[in-house]
A and B are shown apart, each in its own frame.
Chain A
Amino acid sequence: MSEVAEAPVLMPAKRRGAQLAMLAFAVVIVMGAYANVGLALDGAIPSGMLTYGLGLGGFMLAAYLVLAKFAPWADPLILPLVTVVNGLGLVMIYRLEAAGARGASATNQLIMTGAGVVLFAITLIVLRDHRTLQRLTYTAGFAGLFLLISPLIPGLGKSVNGATIWIGFGPAIIQPAELAKIALVIFFAGYLVAKRDVLALAGRRLLFIDLPRARDLGPVLITWAVSLGVLVLQKDLGSSLLLFGTFIVMLYIATQRTSWVLIGILLFVGGAFLAGQIFDHVHARIEVWLDPGNPEFFDRELGGSAQLMQGLFAMGAGGILGTGLGQGHPYLIPLSFSDFIFPATGEELGLTGLMALLMVYALIVQRGLRTALAARDPYSKLLAGGLSFILAWQVFIIVGGVTNLIPLTGLVTPFMSQGGSALLANWILIALLVRMSDSARRPPPQAIQNEGMTQVFQR
């Protein structure tokens, strides 16, 4: 594409010192939050603060060192921002566990954070050039699809809280959709880069939009069918919305065709409407969204609004400044440490804290999108754009859901919610963004003047 050459390549500094300082600052914020919780709950600095603080600090230092060695030109902001969010999630889980929330385990989450950092490092070390992923397009596609439907395989899938989105090996259960989403974004990027010319250009004009050819609708329809399948068979509204929305946006980015977006929205709204008519669980979510305070819904055992209302009560109790860490009652919300960690944080850190948190998420997404803009080839652009968007879209779906902006669909809040699969997947996602920002910001190789036209490329 011609735009690629349009933007002159800036010569960014490495800013490794700034990154280290920011990282230290992020760890200090998290340590302060730990101290805060301990002082509020027991009137003393918690004994585990050093373990947790140094643990987190150690992991992040390791991540930094790997990054400095293997991706020295990477965006300096991404890692510190992720550290703050991940750390605050740890603090909230620690606080909820201390209050006796069933199932909350800060130790587990810290271990999974460590594992996430290890995967981050492995991804950076092994994947020296993300474009090798382009060769794995269809492999990624099949892997993603398999992961997505794996919970439906008898003997492997586990149904928790009405949604069949887990697979279990003995005591360990993982949520494959979280890993599937990365594999599928890799697939979408590779597929769309290969096919985008035909998807973008063929077709005819009807009224004021360019309609694609019917046979080019194939991939869209397949993705749509898979998304609806996830919705219907696994009762997982969140993943369904997440995947289809991401696909449509990537399609749009690749083809610049608004008609794809319109077709996608029509298909999804139509599908969701039908699903709402046919399937109780979808219908219930929409009912609850429209009138969460209704006592009938509040008292309903399955698909009721009690959890949502508890979240809203928590946020209301937090008000503008919050109750202070350790001083509210966020543990009253069912699953306060996973899906509802955002309202739980809202109670104790208040509107102020949530605005800051949303700002941090927005910054991570914008750093990712900057990487996409600065990338030098279409595949990198599409992959970075897709990964950034899926992160933003996931935050929007879950945060919008728990704050009743949109119907509630279960998804984890990236980096905050307790849950290993999501944490690991998101650390890999960040590693990919870091890898791409490294190659985007790396200065182009200089021509060696003495040797005429010969250029040396850095691998």
Chain B
Amino acid sequence: MNGTLKRAAVACLAMFALLMINVNYVQAVRADHYSEDSRNQRNYYARYAVERGRITAGGKVILAQSVEKKDGDFRFLREYPDGKLYAHITGFFSPESASNIERSENALLDGSSSDLLLRRSIDLFTGEPTRGANVDVTINPKAQRAAYDALRESGKRGAVVALDPKTGAILAMVSLPTYDPTELSGTDKGKVFPLYDKLAKDKGQPLLNRNIDRTYPPGSTFKVVTAAAYLEDDSSRGPQTVVDAPQVLQLPNTTASLPNYGGAACGSGQVPLVYALEKSCNTPFGKIGMELGYDKMQEQAKKFGMGEQIGIPMSVAQSSFGQKEDQAALAQASIGQRSNQMTPLQMAMIAAGIANDGKVMKPYLVNKITDSKGDSVEDAKPEELTEAVSSETAGKLREMMVSVVNNGTANLAQIPGVDVAGKTGTAETSNGQPPHAWFISFAPANDPKVAVAIIVESGAANVGAEATGGHTAAPIGKAVMEAVLNK
């Protein structure tokens, strides 16, 4: 019987060999396949297993941090101490997704980036757990707070963005309505997902960062660009150059006409350019746009950065001067209507470009990234995006914009002791809603430290005055700039 017993023994060995081969196959060969499966909850737990880096502003103020929980499946939970204020900067970190900085810088925050390879190797040998890198953003907490409070006071939806014109650093970025990222960063899918769906369906679109995720017709603030194109076209032109300013501009090949705001006259009908900008007359800029032609207008818009793919690192929606149509459309686009669509960030870049002697700096939000031990991983390097206008043209535009604040529609943006340059706007919306109030500005005019763009959605309602954009949006701009300038 020993012969058959030996064969049975070989069969047993073969069975164990098969089991061992299969275990190797499952755990060594197929392991990645299984770990990538979306039904594998371990991915979900792994999200919370690493101590994610902090998101800070100005190196001190904590916008987001991971806090260790002693019990349960989730080791580190994300907290946002001032969540609503910074929601559109930090974003959220939910069980299956993330947004804004939490998403864009995820590989650094969770420590998996190849830039942190050295750190991870050291940690491996010293036996320390892997920790994510810390991300410091360019936000100035004071300016952010001022922007948030001022915009909230308006009671409307809207957006505020402030840039450092010389570097492109984003100093403040507020979008209302907002949400609390802590709630969306919970681990309970049963709570987080319905909440997310509710926010996503909300008419106010709180998840949207209005500064970069959508565009608006820029209204009269765009006249700055039209003026820039006009001045660039012939260097002998200046603020005092007289332009035609009829009460109503007849548009060719159509019965439609372009009136001034409220159908008002614009001075005597022949006014200096600076006066037309101060009073925000429509007819002179419509006429200028038609005279320059679509190509020159489009060219100038592109020089201010429109059509560039920008990541701050979140990608920014494309702004556009509009398609080439007829002269009537061109006249309307030249005063910021029709198919002219701008993000608030783009409008801030226009103000910043003029402030920075015509050079538009690439906007950015991440100031520096340091690993868990504080060693630098990445430092922001300011980059020039485009040269929008010559230094002389920038000087002329600056002079006119100062005049708009001192003598024109934007008088509410005046800051005692500081020259402020600005331009208001009132953008008609197609759907019969009250128009949007706009304001772009920078200060101090002679040595700009901050450029802002503000939009208050339907913010021009129930205000009969001519300068509606100036009425609601300019004070917000003033508050933000004062915060940056420490006034």
A residues sitting closer than 8 Å to B (CB atoms) are 1, 3-4, 6-7, 249, 252-254, 256, 293, 298, 309, 312-313, 315-320, 328-329, 332, 346, 350-351, 354-355, 358-359, 361-362, 365-366, 369, 372-373, 378, 381-382, 385, 388-389, 392-393, 395-396, 399-400, 403-405
Q: A316-B35, A373-B2, A403-B22 are in contact. Are A392 and B42 (CB under 8 A)?
A: no
Q: Please indicate the chain A residues that have their CB under 8 angstroms from the CB of B23 in the complex.
A: 315, 346, 351, 354-355, 358, 399, 403
Q: Is the CB of A351 within 8 A of B27?
A: yes
Instruction: Report how far A346 CA is from B9 CA in the complex, Å.
Output: 26
Q: Please indicate the chain B residues that have their CB under 8 angstroms from the CB of A389 in the complex.
A: 8, 12
Determine whether B196 belongs to the interface, using a CB cutoff of 8 Å to chain A.
Answer: no
Q: Is the CB of B26 within 8 A of A316?
A: yes
Nearest CB of B to A248, in Å: 11
Q: Please indicate the chain A residues that have their CB under 8 angstroms from the CB of B264 in the complex.
A: none
List the 5 shortest-distance A-B pairs measured between CB atoms, nearest first: A316-B34, A351-B27, A316-B31, A392-B12, A362-B16
Determine whether B20 belongs to the interface, using a CB cutoff of 8 Å to chain A.
Answer: yes
Nearest CB of B to A370, in Å: 8
Q: Is the CB of A372 within 8 A of B5?
A: yes
Q: Is the CB of B20 within 8 A of A355?
A: yes
Q: List 19 A-B contacts (CB under 8 A).
A: A3-B2, A4-B1, A7-B2, A313-B41, A315-B26, A315-B34, A316-B30, A320-B28, A346-B27, A351-B23, A351-B28, A359-B16, A369-B5, A369-B12, A385-B1, A392-B15, A393-B15, A395-B19, A405-B22
Determine whether B45 belongs to the interface, using a CB cutoff of 8 Å to chain A.
Answer: yes
Q: Is the CB of A404 within 8 A of B28?
A: no
Q: Is the CB of B41 within 8 A of A369?
A: no
Most A C-beta atoms less than 10 A away, residue of B1, B12, B24, B32: B1
Determine whether B253 belongs to the interface, using a CB cutoff of 8 Å to chain A.
Answer: no
Q: Is the CB of B8 within 8 A of A385?
A: yes
Instruction: Report how far A392 CA is from B5 CA in the complex, Å.
Output: 14
Instruction: Report how far A253 CA is from B12 CA in the complex, Å.
Output: 13
Nearest CB of A to B70, in Å: 9
Determine whether B374 belongs to the interface, using a CB cutoff of 8 Å to chain A.
Answer: no
Q: List 8 additional A-B contacts (Cβ < 8 Å) besides A317-B31, A358-B16, A395-B19.
A: A249-B11, A309-B39, A312-B26, A313-B40, A316-B40, A320-B27, A346-B27, A355-B20
Q: Please indicate the chain A residues that have their CB under 8 angstroms from the CB of B2 in the complex.
A: 3-4, 6-7, 373, 381
Q: Is the CB of A3 within 8 A of B3?
A: yes
Residue of A3, A369, A400, A405 near B8 (CB, 8 A) is A369
Q: Is the CB of A392 within 8 A of B34?
A: no
Q: Is the CB of A396 within 8 A of B15?
A: yes
Q: What mask results when residues 84 to 110 of chain B are scored 1 for a CB within 8 Å of chain A, else 0?
A: 000000000000000000000000000
Q: Please indicate the chain A residues that have their CB under 8 angstroms from the CB of B3 in the complex.
A: 3, 256
Q: Is the CB of A405 within 8 A of B19?
A: yes
Q: Is the CB of B1 within 8 A of A350?
A: no
Determine whether B33 belongs to the interface, using a CB cutoff of 8 Å to chain A.
Answer: yes
Nearest CB of B to A147, in Å: 25
Q: Please indicate the chain A residues that have their CB under 8 angstroms from the CB of B124 in the complex.
A: none
Q: Is the CB of B9 within 8 A of A317?
A: no
Size category, B interface = 35 or more
Nearest CB of A to B14, in Å: 10
Q: Is the CB of B41 within 8 A of A252?
A: no
Q: Please indicate the chain B residues that have their CB under 8 angstroms from the CB of A400 in the complex.
A: 15, 18-19, 22
Nearest CB of A to B81, in Å: 28
Determine whether B234 belongs to the interface, using a CB cutoff of 8 Å to chain A.
Answer: no
Nearest CB of B to A407, in Å: 13
Most B C-beta atoms less than 10 A away, residue of A316, A332, A372: A316
Q: Is the CB of A373 within 8 A of B12?
A: no
Q: Is the CB of B73 within 8 A of A329?
A: yes
Q: Is the CB of A382 within 8 A of B1?
A: yes
Q: Please indicate the chain A residues that have their CB under 8 angstroms from the CB of B18 in the complex.
A: 396, 400, 405
Q: Please indicate the chain A residues that have their CB under 8 angstroms from the CB of B8 in the complex.
A: 249, 252-253, 369, 385, 389
Q: A366-B9, A395-B19 are in contact. Are A3 and B35 (CB under 8 A)?
A: no
Q: Is the CB of A319 within 8 A of B28?
A: yes
Instruction: Report how far A318 CA is from B24 CA in the complex, Å.
Output: 11
Nearest CB of B to A307, in Å: 12
Nearest CB of A to B307, in Å: 43
Instruction: Report how far A362 CA is from B26 CA in the complex, Å.
Output: 20
Q: Please indicate the chain B residues that have their CB under 8 angstroms from the CB of A350 in the complex.
A: 27
Q: Is the CB of B41 within 8 A of A332?
A: yes
Q: Please indicate the chain A residues that have their CB under 8 angstroms from the CB of B463 in the complex.
A: none
Q: Is the CB of B41 within 8 A of A329?
A: yes
Instruction: Report how far A290 CA is from B66 CA in the complex, Å.
Output: 43
Instruction: Report how far A434 CA is from B35 CA in the complex, Å.
Output: 43
Q: Please indicate the chain A residues that have their CB under 8 angstroms from the CB of B6 in the complex.
A: 373
Nearest CB of B to A250, in Å: 9
Determine whether B122 belongs to the interface, using a CB cutoff of 8 Å to chain A.
Answer: no
